Structure 1
Amino acid sequence: MPDAPPPPLNMADVQRSVASELDRIAPVLDDLGRRFAEAGHELALVGGPVRDAMLGRQHNDLDFTTSAHPDETERLIKDWADAIWDMGRGFGTIGCRKGPWQVEITTYRSEAYDPDSRKPEVDFGDTLDGDLGRRDFTVNAMAVRVPGREVEDPYGGIVDLAHRVLRTPGRPEDSFSDDPLRMMRAARFAAQLGFTVDPAVVEAMRAMANRIEIISAERVRDELVKLVCAPYPRLGLTLLVDTGLAALVLPELPALALERDEHHRHKDVYQHTLTVLEQAIDLEDRLPDGGPDFVTRFAALMHDVGKPRTRRFLADGTVTFHHHDVVGAKITRKRMKALRFSNDAIDEVSRLVELHLRFHGYGTGEWTDSAVRRYVRDAGDQLDRLHVLTRADCTTRNRRKAERLRRTYGELEARIARLAEQEELDAIRPDLDGNQIMEILGIGPGRGVGEAYRFLLELRMDHGPMSEEDAGAALRDWWASR
């Protein structure tokens, strides 16, 4: 399982971490600070980089805030930066690159959402404290003035950081009214940092959950991806469900909290799902690129979403979920389309959901080689992820049963490896190509070639590799019997 959230911070450790990180990024801090000060403007490192410096985390994406307006900012960095971009000019932001650092410098500002608008109205401010007050959480409302390196913390962010608590600088209702996406960000930061969320913030999220509906699907999707790929996704997902936000952005998740039947003959599907997600995270080192891997994690989260729709109670009190894999794949595809995921991501996650039960037909190893080939063919380039998902889906408390399932799946993986070595399973094709089919049958391009190709592919699955002569004879017999 993912590690437990870390304990409270020691303030001496915080001070040392900040000093060390500021020294590391001094080439940017000191130079930029002098430039802006000499021009009569304030400049401060702000937000995530300050928070992460206190947590001992390094990164090269640096955010600054300034009293200078965008045109003046651009003038001041024109002969300093290696490259400049201004796509965020309308929001007061000028971006640049200096060596290994990506830098964004934003004019002091205030922004708020119109009650029915998805886009903020931006006004420039004139003080650092005012700028910090409009930020989402106190741990992101800290700044370091440069070049002097004075820490500004008007809202108690350092104390909240030490205690690993998320609070808003002002009333959470005002913060979430200004930008409803901050409710999603609360869940995301809980998942990323292992923080608890202040009860007042939770209550505001619960009361204002419907405000999330004015936010674009793309912005919701991006927050969800960051949450799922975080070290402690269970914390964030639980918060979304408990506050009612999940019912609006990912309703399939709270729907898994099925009422248990009086005989307790099926698992709590919601808790089971969160456990599968955590077990999939533990297995990510089996993937070629390691983790965090969004596709595997989201497939784990969605693998049982077909159960509520397929649940049936039988006369003897047992519960069935027949075809929940196929139904779940369709539900997953629909939800991911609504969240504007790429077609590739939709296809990958949906395929894993559809295949997650396939292994259970393996029994104790009764599959023929042809069945193993079909398993590999159907998984395609998602085979490694399917291995992880299938193993993670074993959450039984019966140790003997769990060990038997792990051992049996290990045997299946070994068979796949042996067949792959013998037959190049990852590129299974018929023993004859289209040109050979047309030559043997004396036909031209058309539907008959496709039918013959599919026949030969099934033949290849059933019998393994064949010689060109044997494949040709089988093709002629099949064609003659049509």
Structure 2
Amino acid sequence: MNELAAKRNAVTELMRISPLADDLAGLFAAAGHRLYLVGGSVRDALLGRLSSDLDFTTDARPERILKIVSGWADAVWETGIEFGTVGITKRGSTLEITTFRADTYDRVGRNPEVTFGDTIEGDLLRRDFTVNAMAIDLSTKQFVDPYNGLDALSARVLDTPATPQESFADDPLRMLRAARFVAQLGFTPAPRVVDAMKDMAGELRRITAERVQAELSKLLLGEYPRRALELLVDTGLAELVLPEVPGMRLAIDEHHQHKDVYHHSLTVLEQAIALEKRDGWQPDLVLRLAALLHDIGKPATRRFESGGGVSFHHHEVVGAKMTRKRLRALKYSKQIVDDVSQLVFLHLRFHGYGNGEWTDSAVRRYVTDAGPLLDRLHKLVRADCTTRNKRKAAALQRTYDGLEERIARIQAEEDLAKVRPDLDGNEIMKILGLPPGPLVGQAWRHLKELRLDRGPLSHEDAVAELHRWAEENGVA
């Protein structure tokens, strides 16, 4: 990127949001203060991807900021005012204005002792990476770049304004942010940043699980999550975030087509992302987590067979339990925990399909067990084919095509998304003369199993089967 061209592009992009920024800068200038567009907003402007959410910094103190924007902003909130930040909205844009900061850290937690500063250079020094330590003086449209952020951006390198040791000691979460920027922007960390991440990985224990989870999710939803995950593994940070992932390096894939399950899983993740893009999906955290973790049960279930082979019996069952435990520890929502664990549990089911030997009953169970996760399961199973044998890969994809066609046919005939017993709970109670209670639930589940095995029953057949069940189970 030519520096002059980059600056010209940034100013052009900045003018796109004018007169909003100009109006705001005029308000601050009239009050005797300077206003700068700063941080990620400048980085994104240089990359041609500026959003309507903008970050500003100023020499004005928080109380003064409130007075300046009062009457001009459509809405004002003071949630972050103790940290010097005033949030406003104006014509659909979200703006955050923060007083220059010169914070100090106790290096026990990650929250700073907020100290207001007096210079833009001092404010930029405290930021995480040089690509986020650039500013534009809105009154003059001049760049402020004391730490060579533009050079780093041109080289697509992540470096820190201060030394990495100082930066990460102040806030260890910045090590995960480095990996996140690798995933989102495709940048490469400077060697000294990587070295510091290796030496200081243990500092991440100071960070709460919720903060770690938020960065991990953003990383996985990025454009290049494999690069970022490899960085986490290589620096030792993964041992603290997702230890099961580097743990997969110990397991040899049963097909002997890959170096190990670790690399296989990263390839599955990439292939799942390719299927998302093919079908026009937005980045899907549940699918990506499932792709990454689907084989984490293999190390615990690895067995060396007498003939020289390797087996991983029931690794999907063990993996589902491990997935649930890890995602709970990372404080993911119950829905995400349940969905990812279920996909891990189901990902191997297709391999019993053979060349289409499943009965319609087995197909119904596959669909019913997947439920609303069926489309994700389709992608996970297809992505899990990483063999380098093109003929074998094509055969597997054709077989899965056949399964999807059978699912579509049966769904069209029977509406599998709404599979229910042919008699509901009220009918069961009326026919058997039962009060509400566990026996009704048992009868309902029995009829649902019959519905999955045999398809829809007539009312007469359903009643006959209910009476047969009642007789066999001693239900009067």
**Equivalent of 1:335 in 326, 331, 343:** 326
Cross-structure match for 1:415: 406
Is it true that 1:453 corresponds to 2:444 in the alignment? yes
Q: Is the 8 A contact 1:355 1:379 kept in 2?
A: yes
**Equivalent of 1:373 in 364, 379, 382:** 364
Cross-structure match for 2:302: 311
- CA distance in 1 between partners of 2:267 and 2:385 (Å): 9
Is it true that 1:218 corresponds to 2:210 in the alignment? yes
**Equivalent of 1:298 in 269, 282, 289:** 289
Alignment of 1:67-82 (within 5 A): 67-82=59-74
**Equivalent of 2:129 in 137, 153, 163:** 137
- CA distance in 2 between partners of 1:98 and 1:246 (Å): 41
Q: Is the 8 A contact 1:265 1:318 kept in 2?
A: no
Shift of 1:260: 4.8
Q: Provide the TM-score with structure 1 as the length reference.
A: 0.95
Amino acid at match of 1:440: I
In structure 2, relative to structure 1, the CA distance for the partners of 1:425 and 1:274 (3 Å cut) is same
In structure 2, relative to structure 1, the CA distance for the partners of 1:40 and 1:423 (3 Å cut) is same
Q: Deviations over 1:92-136 (max 9, x none)?
A: 111010012100001111234323224222111111000000001
**Equivalent of 2:379 in 374, 377, 388:** 388
Q: Deviations over 1:206-242 (max 9, x none)?
A: 0000001001111111110110000011111111110
- CA distance in 2 between partners of 1:243 and 1:285 (Å): 30
- CA distance in 2 between partners of 1:138 and 1:77 (Å): 29
Cross-structure match for 1:126: 118
**Equivalent of 1:40 in 11, 14, 32:** 32
- CA distance in 2 between partners of 1:257 and 1:155 (Å): 39
In structure 2, relative to structure 1, the CA distance for the partners of 1:337 and 1:397 (3 Å cut) is same
Q: SS in structure 2 opposite 1:144?
A: strand
Alignment of 1:50-449 (within 5 A): 50-258=42-250, 260=252, 267-285=259-277, 290-449=281-440
Q: Is the 8 A contact 2:11 2:141 kept in 1?
A: no
- CA distance in 1 between partners of 2:137 and 2:462 (Å): 76
Gaps of 5+ in 2: none
Q: SS in structure 2 opposite 1:111?
A: coil
Amino acid at match of 1:343: K
**Root-mean-square deviation (CA), in Å?**
1.6
Q: Deviations over 1:259-297 (max 9, x none)?
A: 659x9677511110110000000001466x712111101
**Equivalent of 2:455 in 459, 464, 468:** 464
Higher relative contact order (CA 8 A, sep 6+): 1
In structure 2, relative to structure 1, the CA distance for the partners of 1:225 and 1:112 (3 Å cut) is farther
In structure 2, relative to structure 1, the CA distance for the partners of 1:314 and 1:113 (3 Å cut) is farther
- CA distance in 1 between partners of 2:325 and 2:192 (Å): 34
- CA distance in 2 between partners of 1:173 and 1:356 (Å): 42
Q: Provide the TM-score with structure 2 as the length reference.
A: 0.97
In structure 2, relative to structure 1, the CA distance for the partners of 1:423 and 1:112 (3 Å cut) is farther
- CA distance in 1 between partners of 2:129 and 2:107 (Å): 21
The total of aligned residue pairs comes to 473
Q: SS in structure 2 opposite 1:213?
A: helix
In structure 2, relative to structure 1, the CA distance for the partners of 1:476 and 1:13 (3 Å cut) is farther
Q: Deviations over 1:308-354 (max 9, x none)?
A: 11111112221111111111111111111111111111111111111
- CA distance in 2 between partners of 1:317 and 1:66 (Å): 68
Cross-structure match for 1:3: none
Cross-structure match for 1:5: none
Q: Is the 8 A contact 1:266 1:319 kept in 2?
A: no
Q: Is the 8 A contact 1:165 1:196 kept in 2?
A: yes
Q: Deviations over 1:54-75 (max 9, x none)?
A: 1111311100011111111111
- CA distance in 2 between partners of 1:453 and 1:372 (Å): 21
Percent identical across equivalent pairs? 60
